[in-house]
A = this chain, B = another copy of it.
């Protein structure tokens, strides 16, 4: 078992905060990033249980033992991946801040539908975070919470600016995230489920088209316009 909280000998937590890194710290950060990139790829392809440390090490082009110089155990890799993922998503949301409500939603949906790796990673993070008793849930919860918070901020801004009707922001932010996650998961299932989404679009699936459709649902709802 992994003594929790230990992230190898590294100084991962400090990285984001400190600007003046020594050469040693920069090397460590680079190594950790290299490992997390490999881990994200393998987790998204094989799931957490199916990913072996051997394959992660090979993907990161280093020996298995080296992983353990930078991360305490396999679950720390998952936590690291979750945090890096949340960083990306939050940064992307903030980059959209200036757009109109509809454009923002369209972008967000489309961006998340676009990459299979990301869709699968989402699924892995969610299900392992909840179900794997070896995993320290709180860290992954926190990562997801940062995404939810960013979404709440976005919606609150839109309501405050009078660009959206005053719904319950907490529910809406979660429904919004849930739709993206669930859609990604469902989409990844493939087969007839996916086929249904491409039939009337000349057989060619387009994340942007799908983003438009879902945005339309969220903006206008299902009710008859009177």
The CB with the most chain B CB atoms within 10 A, among A141, A179, A216, is that of A179
Q: Are A162 and B224 in contact (CB under 8 A)?
A: yes
Interface string of A73-117 (1 = CB under 8 A from B): 000000000000000000000000000010000000000000000
Interface majority SS (helix, strand, loop, mixed), chain A: helix
0/1 per residue, A109-134, Cβ < 8 Å to B?
00000000000100110111111110
Query: Is A28 positioned at the interface, with any CB of B under 8 Å from its CB?
Result: no
Given contacts A144-B186, A199-B170, A220-B223, contact A124 B131 (CB under 8 A): yes
With A126-B123, A164-B224 given, is the CB distance from A178 to B171 under 8 Å? no
Residues of A174-226 contacting chain B, CB below 8 A? 174-175, 177-193, 196-197, 199-200, 210, 213-214, 216-225
Q: Is there an interface contact between B141 and A192, defined as CB atoms closer than 8 Å?
A: yes
In the complex, A150 has a CB within 8 A of chain B: no
In the assembled complex, the CB of A47 is this many whole angstroms from the nearest CB of chain B, namely 4
A49 at interface, CB cutoff 8 A: yes
Residues of B within 8 A of A179 (CB): 175, 178-179, 182
Determine if A221 and B224 form an interchain contact, defined as CB atoms under 8 angstroms apart: no
Q: Are A165 and B131 neighbours in the complex by a CB distance under 8 Å?
A: no
Q: How many angstroms from the CA of A177 to the CA of B217 in the assembled complex?
A: 13
Whether A193 contacts B141 by the Cβ 8 Å rule is yes
Residues in B with CB closer than 8 Å to A214 are 171, 175
- A1: interface (CB < 8 Å): yes
Cβ of A31 < 8 Å from any Cβ of B? no
Q: With the chains together, A168 CA to B168 CA distance in Å?
A: 26
Q: What residues of chain A have their CB less than 8 Å away from a CB belonging to chain B?
A: 1, 45-50, 101, 120, 123-124, 126-133, 137-138, 140-142, 144-145, 148, 152, 162-165, 167-168, 170-175, 177-193, 196-197, 199-200, 210, 213-214, 216-225
Supply 16 A–B pairs (Cβ within 8 Å), ascending by A.
A123-B123, A123-B126, A129-B189, A137-B189, A144-B186, A145-B191, A145-B192, A165-B222, A165-B225, A170-B196, A171-B213, A174-B183, A174-B193, A178-B179, A178-B184, A180-B182
